[in-house]
Every structure is written in C-alpha cells, then in structure tokens.
Structure 1
Amino acid sequence: MSTFKRTISATLAIAASLGAMAFTANAHAADTYLGTAWGVRTNSNLNCAAGAVCERASKSTGKIYGGYTFAITPYNGFSLSQSVEGMLYQIGDTKGSFSTTSGLKNGIGKTSGAGIFYKVDIGTDEFGVVSRIGTSYARGSVDFASGGSGSEKAWFIPALGLGLRYSLTKNISLTADWDRLPSKYSSTNSNKTINNMYSLGVAYKY
C-alpha cells in the first residue's frame, strides 16, 4: 500500500473516531460534519524561469474533510464553535521551475496530502466566519521537462485557512475557503512551496 493510501486510511480512521466520539458524547447535538470542496483556483509561489512554460494556477484541485465540534459558546446573539477537523486534499498539475541541486529545472508538479486542524467558527446559525490552524502531511512529485522525475514527503508542516459559511438549512451549509498548504516536490529541493487553494463547497452536519 502506498504512503498516500496509508495516509488516507489513517485520516479516515481519525474522522470515524471523531464521529463516534461526537455521537457518544452528545446524542442530542449536531456535533459531526462532513464536507467536500472544489478548488476554483490554486496559486503557488513556484519560480518561473525565462522561457519556461508556467501555469501556477493548478487544475483538478479539491478537498474532503470531516470534523467534530466539541464546544459551542453563545454570546450576544452570536456563537463561537470549536472543532477538530481532518482534511484530505489534492492539488493538480502545476507548471513552473523547480529548484534542484543543479539549479532550476522546468517541469510539472502535483501534490496530495492530509491535515489535522483546530477550527473556530464565529457567527450565527445562518452565517459564520471560519479559521483553521494545524499541521499537514504532503507528498509532492514533479516530472521534469528535460527528463526524469522527483518526489518528496513533508511531515508536520504548519497549515492554516480562512473561510465563510452560509447555512441553507440546519444541516446543509455552503462554504468558501482559502487554505494555505505548503509542500515539497523533490528530494533535491529543501525549499517549501506555498500552495494557496481557494475553494467552494458544501458541508453536511449530522
């Protein structure tokens, strides 16, 4: 089984455990949720050497996530909700110039990964402002235009995000998120690449 598949299995196991904790802790509250989002745009800070084909706005990008809300504090008509959230994400093809020990090389890179976050939602039942902070695992790979390829894993990389929530019903919400997800593409490159994923999605609260 590949490293990423093992990571998916582990993250899904965490999400399942969080869900079980939620139902066990409070059978009367909607404490667990699942969501999916499509990346409408993803930008990276990759280099772009002269004459290189650059497309730093990735396609085929998105995420799935699930969480457990462990505390809700009401205040003056608003509420502050605190959650633990797990995420799986994919960042599609990114064309640019990748740093190696022999200098910049043009190529096409992609990233997939998983993260665990502390999430805060401040707002009302209908609308909320969301922030996330946590850590992620990322596996990046690159196919060089001149031939050859590279890959690299990065563990415990700080990751964060901001977003908006609009609740259509008690259970269904529309979301708009920005996630900052660093990664590495090649073992010959110690520099992190910052991927900024902007996404629209939907979440279901149980």
Structure 2
Amino acid sequence: MALKATIHKASLNISDIDRNLYSDHNLTLARHPSETDERMMIRLLAFALNAPPNNDQGLLEFGKDMWEPDEPCLVQKDLTGLLVHVIEVGQPDEKRITRLCSRAARVSVYSFSSSTATWWSGIAGKLTRLRNLTVWQVPAEQSQQLAAMCKRSMSLQLTLQDGALWVGDGTDSVEITLSCLYGNPDA
C-alpha cells in the first residue's frame, strides 16, 4: 500500500516592508512521505518571499515536484500560461536548472543544506551564462529552526525589512539570513 501525503494548513501573514507588500494567505500544502518538515518549510518560505503583490502577473502556486520529477517546486504563470517565475528548493543539478532557465523568464533556487557550498562550487561554473537565475542559501541551522515550527496547522508571521527576515509562530521566532550565491538579488 502506497503512503499518502500529509496535509498541512498554513495561515501566512506577510509584511514585506522592503517591497511594500502586506498580504495574508491561507495555504494547503501536501507533504510527500519522502519530504522532510525542513524542505516543506523552505517551500513555504520561498512562497512567502516571492508572493506577487497582485494577480496581474498570475498566481504563484505550489508545483507537483515530489510526485512528478519534471515539475518545479513553485510556479508562477502569467494570464496567457507562460512561465513567469519558477522556484526550486534543494540542490537541483545543472541540467535541470538550465532547462528551467530556458523555459521561464525567471528562476530562483533556495538551497538549505549544510552541503550547499560543496553543491554550488561543483555547478557554479556551468551556469554563468544564465542571466535569469538567482540562487539563494538558507543557513542549515536556521532552516532546522524553521522546521521546528512545522505543525499540521500553522499560523506564521513573516516580516522582511532592510534585508532582515523574521519568521514567527506566536511562540518562537527565527531570523533567516539569506545569502545570494548567484544572480540579481533584487530581481
């Protein structure tokens, strides 16, 4: 018998002062049996950091990456169906990143493992021609603190001001210090 996804509900309050974006999102996340709490919370963080200010450029939606290997983690399509923004979580190989960059106007990767430096040093030289790519690193200890906030039903507040990012759940909070490894951090 196949294991089924675990459903998580997240009420997300975003106060992105840097982008003048204030929004609330009620999200349902399906966590694949092979996915960790840490990875799911990074998906949620990536959603919050890239939520569009309005729906004029299309909605940002969770993909079926854990069920369909060719699907990205998060996808934003414009109203005509063209890929505006694709977001990957983890450490995809250079072929996958190159393929995504050829299909979408913008690609972001969020890596959160302690092996990020090793992964990135192995593929960075192969991706220098990709101008629509931005690669971010979330420190492993901070992503683990974020994973500790994972519950089946969550209410999270995310505040971003002057590059400082705080995520809280009413009881605990963690400061996330994203590092841009490649690309334009303001894109």
Shared fold, TM over 0.5 = no
Structure whose residues are more often strand by fraction: 1
Task: State the TM-score, normalized to the length of structure 2.
Answer: 0.30
Structure whose residues are more often helix by fraction: 2
Task: State the TM-score, normalized to the length of structure 1.
Answer: 0.28
Larger gyration radius, structure 1 or structure 2: 1
